[in-house]
Amino acid sequence: MQEVLALALQSMQNDMQRLDRIGTNLANALTPGYQREVAAARPVASFASLVDAGPRAVADGGGPFRAPLTSLLVQTDTRPGSLRSTGQAFDVAIAGPGFFEVATPQGPAYTRQGDFRLDGQGRLVTALGHPVMGRGGEIYPGTAQPRIDAAGSFLPAEGASGPGAAVPLAQLRIVQPDGAARMAHAGDGLLRAEGTVSQVPDAEVQVRQGYLENSNVSSMQEMVHLVQTMRHFESMQKVALGYDEMTGQAIRKLGELS
């Protein structure tokens, strides 16, 4: 019976993790380019396999019973959000697949939050100052009013003439994860690739200048998940309290018989 209590407590811990993810999603409902996190239980063969894991844990470790580790699998919902017009020259949104690549002290990171600006060196950077990467390295637009086409290329100023008038100054590096690789939140609107990434072909790149992507969080949907998770937590709490009460009654009866 001790396994039942352990499973109830593990379920309550999972619910707490779900609540943490839901709270993060709700807090970022208005963050440009934010992609919601989804927490789901890892698949198991059967309920019996979870219960049987307890005695084996005792036999292997020689310690007290430990609940089987069924921690949640947290994934990023990569569905794009809607676009809204801002009219700002350095606001850029991706209408199709892919992520902007940025350079951080911890290595390459990725984002769909395109509210860029120029730093003191004239580089294109994120709101937190991380350089936005182009196909040839860091991007120096050279003007406060750049022109960015659908492929993410920075074009010379309007009305420029001469041999290089049609040559792009730089091009945004848009990437997407390969195969089973996935993106995991790293904080500050950035994601890390758990696997390899590849450059999105020009024909599939859809960049919109003067737009920002809204978060793909639905506040109503998150509130529904919040209520469901709280109800489930309360149910598991009643199971744990019921088990505790039953154990207490059993101890009292044994004491009366002795």
Render pLDDT for 56-114 as a digit per residue (tens, 0 to 9).
443 344 444 444 445 678 888 888 999 999 999 999 999 988 999 999 999 999 999 99
Work out the mean pLDDT of the chain and round it to a whole number.
83
The letter for the amino acid at 231 is R
Q: pTM of this prediction? A: 0.75
Residue 236 pLDDT > 50: yes
Write out pLDDT tens, residues 164-205.
556 778 999 999 998 878 888 888 889 998 889 999 998 889
- Which single residue is written with the structure tokens 């990171």? 109
Residue environment code for 16-37, b if the CB has 16+ CB neighbours within 10 A, otherwise e: eebbebbeebbebeeebbbbbb
Domain locations in the chain? 2-77+221-257, 83-213
Pairing type for strands 190-194 and 182-187 reads antiparallel
> What is the model's pLDDT at position 220?
94
Give the residue-averaged pLDDT of 111-128: 93
Residue 43 pLDDT > 70: no
> What is the model's pLDDT at position 211?
96
> What is the model's pLDDT at position 18?
92
136: exposed, middle or buried (C-beta count within 10 Å: 0-12, 13-18, 19+)? exposed
Q: Cα 85–92–223 angle (5° rounding)?
A: 65
